[in-house]
Chain A
């Protein structure tokens, strides 16, 4: 835990009278896969939204690579190299898969005249490699919105990789994907972590998937941090089991 790439200290966020996150402190170690679990409505997505700048937090601090980011906006945070995918998949529906990839290049140092860049042979090559990586190469010229939900999810993942992020926040990557294919997806997530060196922070309901991937897992319940530890410790934690099944 010495090298934390994302560090949250006492983060709270409420909507009106509803406290979505209360006093949450956690650290995401660099270069690893970290999981975030919790029952429905426990504040996982709210926490993600706070981290990537969708809404201001009420109190606390969020640091990314040592820099305070809790006052930055979504685009600025994205350009620093922290991306998120959406629970309900979001892609550019009327464009082809390849075009979806081409516009997902990193915009970190994009100056005014980069808006009009058109020399993109290397970019196309890279986009095609990544589409092959997620298994969508054959569909690269088809309209993205006409793909099946699972394929759109893979495309969104490939777009995120195209952006060369240092951290990727994934909101339920296996939701809506055929159970027989989840292993393939887990394998690709792990490779994104090991081969591309991308730190992953994953919200997941599929226990088998997250236990298999993550080195550290945080568990939220009722907007509060309930437990943390390695998968074995979380699986054995009485409080976590109670939170999911209801304590008696």
Chain B
């Protein structure tokens, strides 16, 4: 297939760009790392929101949960967490190199697996809901997560946790986390490309198009929905752990569970790029991130006005998104073409012709 070799080419280019970026733009390493995070946000949101048609407003919960799980593990392996969080503001607590990297490794694992397990439990409850109720129900989960952590002194409550300090130069830390973040997003995209090619991709689309029909056909809809949610949560959990360590300080409302920023950005980026496609979220995240950085730099104070305008413009005039628009323009090349419009009288004649050739 031609489009499959084109896709491989895009992956190679992406790999090249990802590896070269910190050397080409050394001043922007952190911004580009955040861009990869944005791509991860939009791609994981699209699994449910685009491919499966379940608009979740609670995905950020797994990001924050991963961040805190990882922090607790990184500290708890070597110190008492309660002591650490209460003493951190007055005393500097040191970690050796070995402690730092062991903690990080175990923390990343705990973040991924722990978030996935939380998704199993929460999925049990929220997948009883559909449509707007699902969106509001999941938003409730995210808000509850933030409030819970913000009042839990063991993990520092609203004043947050300072994570172990990276043993090395700030520049080394930037590169280290840049490459981890890039690798995670790249692996996610490869994984999704494979996933959407299997029965799983078809099943998600079937649930999106008509869930009741899928049930009537005997599809294990609940199993697919939960697994999709768990996959999102796994990647988001690891991303949360990485982002927490990248910034070095975490707190519940603005960094771990930012329901009004990252959580909304996810949806917006997918809409901008085109939902239900592999590349839409990537394109959307990239365009959005550039717009956002520019407005935050040059129109400071007006950034949320610009953001709001962008939301209005996308939702009103450009619902199909960039990649969605391309697919609409060139359905033969990239998508599923529509049946040609025939006069109603002829259209009825079509289907039942005696042999397939006569159908047109």
List the interface of chain A (C-beta within 8 A of B).
52, 74-75, 78-79, 83-84, 86, 90-96, 99, 102-104, 106-108, 110, 112, 114-118, 120, 131-132, 134-139, 141-143, 145-148, 150-151, 154, 159, 163, 177-178, 180-181, 184-185
Candidate in B200, B202, B220, B342 with the most chain A CB atoms within 10 angstroms: B202
Q: With the chains together, A80 CA to B280 CA distance in Å? A: 39
**A91 engages B350 (CB within 8 Å):** no
Chain B interface helix/strand/loop/mixed: helix
Whether B1 sits at the interface, judged by CB under 8 Å, is no
7 intermolecular pairs with C-beta atoms under 8 Å apart? A75-B215, A90-B213, A91-B209, A102-B202, A143-B338, A148-B339, A181-B348
Q: Give the residue of B195, B203, B220, B339 whose beta carbon is less than 8 angstroms from that of A75.
A: B220
Q: B213, A92: Cβ atoms under 8 Å?
A: yes
B349 and A94 form a contact (CB under 8 A): no
Q: Which 4 A-B pairs have the closest CB atoms?
A: A78-B218, A92-B209, A137-B356, A178-B348
Given contacts A143-B336, A180-B349, 8 further A-B contacts (CB under 8 A): A83-B216, A94-B205, A94-B336, A95-B209, A99-B202, A103-B214, A142-B337, A148-B350
Interface string of B326-339 (1 = CB under 8 A from A): 00000000001111
Q: Are A132 and B348 in contact (CB under 8 A)?
A: no
Give the docked Cα–Cα distance between A52 and B217 (Å): 11
Known contacts A90-B213, A95-B336: does B352 contact A115 (CB below 8 Å)? Answer: no
Q: A90-B213, A92-B213, A141-B336 are in contact. Are A181 and B218 (CB under 8 A)?
A: no
Expressed in whole angstroms, the Cα–Cα distance for A110 and B197 within the complex equals 18
A104–B216 alpha-carbon span in the complex (Å): 10
Given contacts A148-B350, A154-B351, contact A116 B195 (CB under 8 A): yes
| Residues in chain A near residue B205, CB distance under 8 A | 92, 94-95, 99, 103
| Contact of A150 with B199 in the complex, beta carbons under 8 Å | no
State the CA gap A234–B12 with chains docked (Å): 70
CB-nearest residue of chain B to A94: B209
